[in-house]
Structure 1
Amino acid sequence: MVFALQRLLPADHLADGQHRDRLVPGSFRILTLQAGDQLRLFARLDGDGCLLLPLTPTPTSMPTLQWPFADSSVPSVPMTRAAFLESWIRDGRLLGQERLSPELRGQMASARCLDNAQLQAGVVLDVTHNSRVLLMVPAQVMPVDEQQASGEVEIRVQLAAGGEYLPEPLAETVADIRVPASSARAYTVKAGQWIQILDVAGKQCSDFIAFDLAAVEAARAGQLNPYEIPVLDAAATRTLMGRALPQPGLHSRFYDQNMQSMLEVVQDTVGRHDSFLMACTPRYYDDAGYFGHISCTANFNQQLAAWGVPPRAGWPAINFFFNTSVSDCGAVIGDEPWSRPGDFVLLRASRDLLCVSSACPDDIDAANGWFPTDIHVHVYGAEHTFPRAIAWRTSAEELPRMTLKTAFHERTAALTSHFSEYKGYWMADEFTGWGATAEYLACRERVAMIDLTALRKFEVLGPDAEKLLQLALTRNVRRLAVGEIIYTALCNVSGGMIDDGTLFRLGAQNFRLVTGDPWVGQWLKRLADENRFVVQVLESSSQLCNLAVQGPQSRELLSELLWTPEHQPDLNQLAWFHFTIGRLGGPQGQPVMVSRTGYTGELGFEVWCHPQHANELWDAVWKAGQRFEIAPMGLKALDMLRIEAGLVFAGHEFCPETNPFEAGIGFTVPMKTKEDDFIGRTALARQNPESRQKLMGLIINSTQPVAHGDQVFQGRFPVGVVTSATFSPVLRQQIALCRLTPDAAVVGTELEIGQLDGLQKRLPATVTSLPFYDPERTRVRS
């Protein structure tokens, strides 16, 4: 392999024929490159550069490598980075990722480094030979009281003319099947093996059917009617899963018509498929006037003939990457697929299967982006293990990110298998042996602990840090003292809420913003650039995890565990919405930050640490909590607690079309006392306060469940909408948060919640003030 360092260039807009990827700090990637490709690397923030190492096609017979860049301006790894390189390789592993072969480890001395200055300008490397290259990005370990956070490195591969890019296989493959455009291929898999179906060029549907292989063989031997062969069935799957489509997590299974599991969905980088329709049929094209057009059904029949499976006029199939949805009136709507080049689904076979995958030939509508292309299938052995993951994005142009496990996952997974995806992390819903109600009661009566690592953390520091935050946040940041925390809203120019969050002041010009939406970081950087502020906005989510310890006995528990130096307040001195820095177990223990914050309406704290100390922190709290009958807590119990406490949640009480006053947090907008301008202030000042909707409580005089989105009526006409609802164990009745018109938002008003069409079913409710629990908030302030 030979590269040539071509030039430095600024980041440019995506062009056709490009593959994009990213390297987060502490990760590596192996790229397969073709002659004529260009490898482009960019970094947006300060970091430790990027290491590159060329690989031969057979690493086990790797000769001594010469550095393959013709331009000598790319330096060797300097001696100052030797410690960093050593820290990367522990027991043959690269920060917990795939095992490095001894031969590859031996070649690390041949690595070269692009420093951060080059990466921020942008680097282009011309590829002159077919090759593979290993890219590695270091990760600093950020102490909890410091604000060092490395940035990502963006990878773009500009493909040579006629070239294509497929991601490296996830592991050694058992079989590789290319499905040419407008065709289908049959293949077999054994129980436990993994099937990865990849969209090669993007926007290409792949219809998929699967049969019980033992039944197929029995039918071929004349021992079974071939029409009785169990086949993957979308209707049975939807019924048993309670979802239109399975996805990684609890609702991950595909079933046959006998309601027996056939496949598990393990990873999905698209999340948009179809199980409502058949594979395309000859009749579809005939009815559209395209007589004799090839179809997936005809291709399936041709492939299945060799297996003795009778043909059908139409095959019910799972249409991977087919973008369909169902409207409120029941119509099925289709559009161009969401899938991009290299997107995939990863399935695991529950038994031996005969599978057929197509590359759909539909070129008469948008189903394949109008241009059918290839599909590729990898089959991996059952001995491999792949984590469950769903892709998500924070913006339209961003690369997808796969679901992560939190630093506490090893401990929470030992206590439950009930996880759901939240903002790119797997979070526990409830715990085996406890359940949501028991977890709720532990928090109200004793103490409970919950992993809240999915919250996003941003370090904002520099001479203009305060100016940036004064502009971005509704609260008056100038009044915030070092060691203090404020709860704030973040608004767009129309006054709608982007998010809410808490802001920590670590120093005169050093802040830590904690929010729920990862897009907040991108927004802050854009504001800083537009206003020419001298400030850094660094995401530190991967460097900080937080464990909430909540309940009336939380202070007593944590006081036994945490040591604080003389210049920091101890837990008994720590005021509400303040934080302290200390250590776990004593002056030589692991560093932690403790904030007197929470989301439960109870006395409580959040303990923040680096992920490498997460298990130690969990174990210490869990052990000390046994005498208090501590319970782990999941998202279901947390939702009950926060609704009782009248606390708002993104996507429920607020959205970009809801302002802070309508969301019930108008106290975060000091229109009279904050003199500086902030985003959304002009729009909020134009509004008539008397015309705003109000967030109120509802006491529901019915045991029938109420849900987010149910309309609230006064007589015939709607006057509001339920934003959140739960059954309150302490109040012994169902309650809801509700956004109401001003005239209806009066305590004691009798209303009705309309379900079905709003007229056929009405549930009586009474308006009340918030919060439902501890109206004076004496417990949380105690």
Structure 2
Amino acid sequence: MRTPVISRPREPALFARAPGLEHHRVAPGGLTVVALEPDDRLEVVDVEGDQPAELLAFAADGREALAALDLLGQAGADFIARLLASNDEEARHVRLGLGKRGIDCGHLPEAARLWSAITPAGFSRSLTAQAALLVVVAAPGSRTPVDSQLRASELRLSIHRANPGSLLLPTLPAALGEVIDEFTIHPGSARDYSVAAGQYIQVIDVAGRQCSDFVAFDRRGLDSGREIDLDPTVTRTLNGNAYPGPGLFSKFFDRDMQPMLEVVRDTVGRHDTFALACTARYYESQGYFGHANCSDNISRALEKYGVRGRPGWPAINFFFNTGIDAHQQLTLDEPWSRPGDYVLLRAMTDLVCASSSCPDDIDPANGWQPTDIHIRVYSEKERFSLAMATRKTPDADPVLTRESGFHAGTSALTRHFIDYRGWWTPSHFDGYGTLAEYYGCRERVAAMDLTALRKFEVIGPDAEALLNYCLTRDVRKLAVGQVVYSAMCYEHGGMLDDGTLLRLGPDTFRWICGEDYAGIWLREQAAKLGMKVWIKSASEQMHNIAVQGPKSRELLAQMIWTPGTQPALTELGWFRFLVGRLDDYNGCPLMVSRTGYTGELGYEIWCHPDDAMKVWQRLWQLGEPLGLVPLGLHALDMLRIEAGLIFAGYEFSDQTDPFEAGIGFCVPLKSKQDDFIGREALLRRKEHPMQRLVGLELEGNEPAAHGDCVHVGRAQVGVITSATHSPLLGKNIALCRLDVGYCEAGTRVEIGKLDGQQKRIGATVASGTVAYDPDKSRVRA
């Protein structure tokens, strides 16, 4: 007899799977406020190690209550008090919230220190509440010089609720600002509300995986008897999307082509196709007659305004996970949203709105269990940063898109930014344009904000051993002051990331890469091996700008001062770095590495974010006579493709090994004697290659694009990974992952367009992946 098969998927951070457990993040140098009930257990975790922790607790009457956690205040533990006394915008909101609870932030008591500063990664302390408490936990930190590795890092809070049965839903996230209206919408219902121009609407998925349909009408139009509502066709057309697709538009328009709403924040990143809200007809077609539906609920909510009811409402379907498959069929699955995820919108005119909490319980649309939606309306006086959210892991708290220390400089030159790995990064610059930026870098000198790169400090007596095990390069051969490019692979040989490793000292390294998860991966490997090593995130506290081009040395030689123990800028060798200062002995501390991503002579300057604008302004002061231009991502893509440099998600992924990605030179299988992760798999893959990365030169003026199929005859033998038009070479070029049988230089292939068969662009396999300056004489100059 067979026993029943039970579904137990791993679904991290979903409230329905663990209603008694909550997680919260304390940012480096920041604080977090949480509420505890009697007998709740609070666990404070030092994620990366060597991070102090401060805690204050308050009773319901606003009085200090550390004793209810068996803690005592300690002399000098005043980081929380100092932070709340600052002019920081977040501190202002926390002060406002604590003030409403009767807590005087101007006379805070001394906090408790939870442990000494010397702690291993993952160290934790558990505290049990003896009463209802409001708890403030901080991760103290101060400004750290760029050449120091003792940085503040995050803490993680886990709350184990003593009475999870009473928690039908998780607690609502803290308000973002001044709330002028808020309400909860229960499953199977809808609610109308009005917002004025400039006010903000926050749609919150309380428990996660719950859809909410949204419609809006121009209020002045309704007053005059006209129904002017959100229009999906107009919105898609004006945003340049011929077909619907997952995600939100930056602006939503009405049928008169006027803007109604703009999206300010989105912590999910995957929503609807702007199709219909659920209808009675949908449930009837599935055999569920009389089932509650969002369209009828919205019609009833809007009836008081004289709005004619509709059997199906075109609506923004927040948190609804739909897509268009390869056969142009609309698909749906469980939402991506987690507890507390939200969308924040700003009304661009006076609106009458309706929001629903979807009642769909017959398919995965609401995770099979409909829950609440919460709406908050904020004052038009508030100012919220434009942001999306990223998570290092599925159960991590979302981190909103950040602005680098150079943003004041770049934003003065352009409004064209994209969210690149969680940082606002310019795509191109007004008054210059992609082509001018490209030529500026190839012929003179260009500067680009590359703060989005992830930085990790790897320190301790086992630092070298860990990195030698986790990277493909032989780290033992890396000298102090030297930089090396390496791959980081999984056990099966697929690439986790690529990056550069800097050796600052015998036991101190800095890993620069693109992937947030790299730090977690390194920490996991160190724990498995029982190594004495710390991996500290430095991305927030170290920002960097690339200065690239034939005149980059001439420019930087005028502004980088170095002591006698360091090489002068003019003496700095390729893949070396120096520690110096801006202008002179008293200038702000900097690091300069002779590295880049353009195939030109170039450098990167690393500094504390507080010093970023000093560097930016000095660069422009000295660089304008040399023809300095700003450089955006679009021009950078042209430069790096010409130089044969690879990019994550294009030339490599976790299914691609370094040989297939064209960087087999960084896997010294013969000379590296020590074992490293993926070695056995890479030995097999090298002996039996299936594909290689090659360069292609295209015939004619029509370009290829990432993902285009590559054919010999009818059969597909490869795929385009990156492509561009090379202005200096005067032709279209591409990087291609190609079957090894067709990789010989001069082999003719065809790039498929349309369906791959109806249109072909002829191309020839080049002698290498580097189309411009193949012997790298410029970068080595």
Bin of the TM-score, shorter chain as denominator length: over 0.9
For residue 182 of structure 1, the aligned residue among 161, 167, 188 is: 188
Q: Which amino acid aligns with 1:140?
A: S
The answer to whether the 8 A contact 1:701-1:764 is kept is yes
**2-side partners of 1:330 and 1:97: how far apart?**
49
Alpha-carbon distance between aligned partners in 2 of 1:294 and 1:758, rounded to the nearest angstrom: 46
Q: Are positions 1:154 and 2:156 aligned together?
A: yes
Equivalent residue, structure 1, for 2:5: none
1:272/1:247 CA distance change after superposition, 3 Å: closer
- What SS is found at the alignment partner of 1:121? strand
- 2:515 pairs, out of 514, 517, 523, with 517
Q: Match for residue 112 of structure 2? A: 112
Query: Residue 114 of structure 1 aligns to which amino acid in structure 2?
Result: L
Read off the aligned partner of 1:230 and give its amino acid letter. Answer: I
Q: Which amino acid aligns with 2:175?
A: P
How big is the shift at 1:496? Answer: 1.2
Matched with 2:213 is 207
Residues 94 and 178 (structure 1 numbering): CA distance in 2 closer, same or farther, change over 3 Å? closer
Which residue of 2 is the match for residue 548 of structure 1?
A: 546
Once the two structures are superposed, residues 219-269 of structure 1 have per-residue CA deviations (whole angstroms, 9 ceiling, x without a partner) of: 1xxxx4xxxx11112222222223546968xx5111122222111111111
Distance in 1 separating the partners of 2:136 and 2:770: 55
Task: Look up the SS of the partner of 1:134 in the other structure.
Answer: strand
Any idea what SS the aligned residue of 1:781 has? coil
1:401 aligns with 2:399: yes
User: Contact 1:20–1:155 (CA<8 Å) still a contact in 2?
Assistant: yes
Q: Is the 8 A contact 2:190 2:356 kept in 1?
A: yes
User: Which letter maps to 1:330?
Assistant: Q
- Closer, same or farther in 2 for the Cα pair 1:17/1:216, shift >3 Å? farther
**Equivalent residue letter for 1:623:** Q
CA–CA separation in structure 2 for the residues paired with 1:543 and 1:312: 53
**How much has 1:306 moved relative to structure 2?**
0.7
SS at match of 1:197: strand
Partner in structure 2 of residue 18 of structure 1: 21
Q: Are the counterparts in 2 of residues 46 and 150 from structure 1 also a CA contact under 8 Å? A: no
Per the alignment, residue 774 of structure 2 pairs with: 775
Give aligned-pair identity as a percent. Answer: 47
Structure 2, unaligned runs of 5 or more:
1-12
Distance verdict in 2 for CA 1:485–1:51, change over 3 Å: same
Deviation for aligned residue 1:91: 4.8
Amino acid at match of 1:44: V
Q: Residues 472 and 679 of structure 1 are in contact (CA less than 8 Å); yes or no, is this contact kept in structure 2?
A: yes
Residue by residue, what CA displacement relative to the aligned partner does 1:60-90 show, whole Å, maximum 9, x if unpaired?
A: xx87x33343354x231432x45x5676356
Equivalent position of 2:256 in the other structure? 258
Q: CA deviation at 1:92?
A: 3.8
2:617 is paired with a residue of what secondary structure? helix
Runs of at least 5 residues in structure 1 that lack an aligned partner in the other structure: 1-10
Larger mean Cα displacement after TM superposition, 546-555 or 232-241: 232-241
The one-letter amino acid paired with 1:142 is T
Per the alignment, residue 143 of structure 1 pairs with: 145
Residues 56, 438 of structure 1: alpha-carbon distance in 2 compared, 3 angstrom cutoff = farther
1:326 corresponds to which of 319, 324, 339: 324
Contact 2:195 2:377 in 1 (8 A): yes
- Alignment partners' CA distance in 1, 2:563 and 2:739: 51
Shift of 1:484: 0.6
The answer on whether the counterparts of 2:68 and 2:131 sit within 8 Å (CA) in structure 1 is no
- Residues 473-552 of structure 1: pairs in structure 2 closer than 5 A: 473-552=471-550
Deviations 1:728-752 (A, max 9, x none): 1111221111111122112122211
CA contact (8 A) 2:577 2:594 kept: yes
Deviation of the 1:668 alpha carbon: 0.3
Corresponding residue SS for 2:570: coil
Separation in structure 2 between the aligned mates of residue 258 and residue 337 of structure 1, nearest angstrom: 32
**Partner of 1:363 in structure 2?**
361
| Distance in 2 of aligned mates of 1:367 and 1:158 | 29
1:661-676 matches, cutoff 5 A? 661-676=659-674
1: CA distance, partners of 2:213 / 2:42: 33
- 8 Å CA contact 1:21–1:399 kept in 2: the answer is yes
Q: 1:276 & 1:385 partners in 2: Cα distance?
A: 27
Give distance in 2, aligned partners of 1:165 and 1:431: 43
TM-score scaled by structure 1? 0.92
Who is 1:708 aligned against? 706
Q: 1:312 to 1:36 in 2, by over 3 A?
A: farther
Larger mean CA deviation between 24-33 and 331-340 belongs to 24-33
Instruction: Tell me the equivalent position of 1:88.
Output: 83
Q: 2:124 pairs with 115, 121, 124, which one? A: 121
**Which residue of 195, 198, 202 maps to 1:196?**
202
- Equivalent AA in structure 1 for residue 268 of structure 2: V
CA RMSD of aligned residues (A): 2.3
Q: Deviations over 1:257-297 (max 9, x none)?
A: 22221111111111121134311111111121111111111
Q: Is the 8 A contact 2:459 2:535 kept in 1?
A: yes
TM-score (norm 2): 0.92
CA distance in 2, matches of 1:436, 1:182: 50
- Deviation readout 1:322-352 (Å, 9 max, x if unpaired): 1111111112221111111111110111111
Give, as a single letter, the amino acid of the residue that structure 1 aligns with 2:83: W
- C-alpha change, 1:127 and 1:704, in structure 2 (3 Å) is farther
Conservation of the 8 A alpha-carbon contact between 2:246 and 2:321:
no
Cα distance in 2, alignment partners of residues 709 and 675 from structure 1: 38
Q: Partner letter of residue 16 of structure 1?
A: P
